[in-house]
Structure formats: structure tokens, C-alpha cells
Amino acid sequence: MSDFVSEFWNMYVIVITAASVFACIALLYVQSKATFTPGKTMGHVWDDTLEEYNNPMPMWWSWLFLITIVFTVIYFTLYPGLGNVKGMLGWTSANAHQAEVAKMDATVKPLFAKYQAMDVKAVAGDKQAMEMGKNLYLTYCMQCHGADARGAKGFPNLTDSDWQWGGEPEQIKATLNEGRMGVMPPHAQVGADTVKDLANYVRSLSGLPNDSVRAAKGKEAFNSVGCSGCHGPDAKGMQALGAPNLTDKVWLYGSSEAVISETINGGRNNKMPAWKEFLGDGKIHVLTAYVYSLSQGK
């Protein structure tokens, strides 16, 4: 990255910019000194009738170049444009951004502070707060969970009652603040037959078609190979570990035997990023209320 902030690139921008301006000046100078014979052709013909004439550049075109040159000189004198030269006004995009942020904070911070003092469930019932929460969701969350919050493969549905880490306000807020790291370790070492047995057993828990003989073997293997250590002996999961419930017919990656076998063989790694530092407490509080309202808030 240091290559792009070295002095070379500063000089590169200055040279390219200055050369463009001088090229316009040179064009006007050459045009002013050249000898033209209006109506005389240069002997070049295209498409039978298209000829090149020895005519001067139209005056409006010359004035356009001149205005461009004057504007450029004035602009580069006042504003940054030649590499890291700041300009006489001292304007920078960073300062402009900070001013915009400060202006927006002065407007919205009191509003977020108002909602932050309220209980999450009360905020979930406030129409204005939910509009704010929806805007936050569409800005930061929809890329993974979808515009309708129904998720996608590998990304949880936020509108149902199935919660991998818990759906109470404090649990949702912890997820948004700190993020989550969901890890399913690979179990290919148990062998292909056992993996298939486990896949059939897991399918049977949700009432899906399965090989009953293999499912029976899978039930025994479920406890012996350590699956119950995370998902529980009843396979209903453990929210403290982020281990999903295998009996509720909700599937993050798919319910086919092939996909379940793939999960058992290779494991899964899924990460929910932390938003505390980026969004701050006020926005996190409103966003928590909005996510809560999508399911349990109803």
C-alpha cells in the first residue's frame, strides 16, 4: 500500500495534470500561428465525398479551450488538484467529510440517545425508530441476510423463530456488537459409512425421507462421535455455543443427504462481523430493536 502514497505518485499526478493544461495551450498557440486557406482541401478523401479542408478551428471551440485553461488555473490555485498541493483555501475532502459527519451527528445523536434510554421492546414498537432501524438494516445487513431479512444459503433467516445464538434483545445486541464465529469441525475421520448414517439420522429428526437402518446406526454414532457434545443429546442445539437445533426443519446450508454429508465431512465456518466500533451504541440499540421486531417482536 505504501507504493501508492509515495512521492512518485504525487509527482506523477502533477506532471500528467500540468501536461494536459500545456497541451491545450500549445494547441491554441499552434492554431493562432498556422496559415489557413479556407475552401482548399488537403487532398485527403474518405468514403468518396468526405474531404479534409484547410480551415481554422471554429472560434467557439477556441474560446472553449481558453475558458477551460483559465478555469483550471484558478481551480488548482484555490483547491487541491496538483498531487498533494492543498491550494490557497486549504480545502480537503477529509475535512469536508468530517464536517458532514459532525453536522449529521448533531441532528441524529439526540434522537438515538432518546431511543437508547428506552427498552429494546419499547423501541421495537416505535414507528419512527423502526424506520430508522430499517434504514440501518438495508445499509449494513441486507448484503448477507437479504432485503427481506429471510437470509440465503449460509446466512440465517431473521424473520423466523429459529435463533442459533438466541433471539432475546440482549443476545441480538451481543451478536451485533461482538459478532459471531460459527464453527462446525470436520468429521471425515469417522468414515464414509458413518457419515452417511449420521446424515440419515439428522434427516430423520426433521421428518425427512431417510434410510431407517442407517438412521438407527446414525443415532448411535451421534453420541459416540461427539455430535451430542454441541447439539445436545436431544439434538435441539445449544445457543451458548451457536450449535443449531437439528430438529426444527430449519436448514442453513440445505437438507439433502449430500449437503448434510458435506457438512459432516468438511465442517462449516461462518462469521458474523462485529459492528460495535463502526455503528456505536445508539445505532446498535435501534438496529437490535428492528431485528427483534422482525420475528419475536410480532
Domains parsed from the chain with CATH numbers: 2-78 (no CATH), 103-179+273-293 (1.10.760.10), 183-272 (1.10.760.10)
pLDDT of amino acid 2: 52
pLDDT of residue 227 exceeding 60, the answer is yes
What is the tens place of the pLDDT at every residue in 133-188? Answer: 999 999 999 999 999 999 999 999 999 989 999 999 999 999 999 999 999 999 99
- Cβ atoms of 255 and 200 within 8 Å: the answer is no
Cross-strand bridge partners of residue 238:
243
pLDDT of residue 291 exceeding 90, the answer is yes
pLDDT of residue 35 exceeding 50, the answer is yes
* Burial degree of 14 (CB within 10 A; 0-12, 13-18, 19+): middle
Of the given ranges (29-33, 206-210, 280-284), which has the lowest mean pLDDT? 29-33
| Average of per-residue pLDDT across 223-235 | 94
Overall residue count recorded for the chain in this entry: 298
For residue 298, give the nearest of 158, 132, 165 by alpha carbon: 158
- Cβ atoms of 88 and 77 within 8 Å: the answer is yes
The set of residues, in sequence order, having a beta carbon less than 8 Å from that of 89 and lying 6+ positions away, is 78, 79
Q: 228: how many CB neighbours lie within 10 A of its CB?
A: 14
| Average of per-residue pLDDT across 34-48 | 85
pLDDT of amino acid 213: 97
pLDDT of amino acid 83: 81
| Average of per-residue pLDDT across 78-103 | 88
Q: What band does 1 get if pLDDT is binned at 50, 70 and 90?
A: very low
| Average of per-residue pLDDT across 187-203 | 96
Of the given ranges (86-90, 196-200, 241-245), which has the lowest mean pLDDT? 86-90
pLDDT of residue 4 exceeding 70, the answer is no
pLDDT of residue 297 exceeding 60, the answer is no
Of the given ranges (29-33, 136-140, 206-210, 282-286), which has the lowest mean pLDDT? 29-33
What is the tens place of the pLDDT at every residue in 92-112? Answer: 888 899 999 899 888 888 989
The Cα 8–Cα 260 span in angstroms is 54
Q: What band does 63 get if pLDDT is binned at 50, 70 and 90?
A: very high
Interior/surface letters 84-108, b for 16+ CB within 10 angstroms, e for the rest:
eeeeeeeeeeeeeeeeeeeeeeeee
- Cβ atoms of 273 and 179 within 8 Å: the answer is yes
pTM of the model: 0.70
Mean pLDDT of the chain: 92
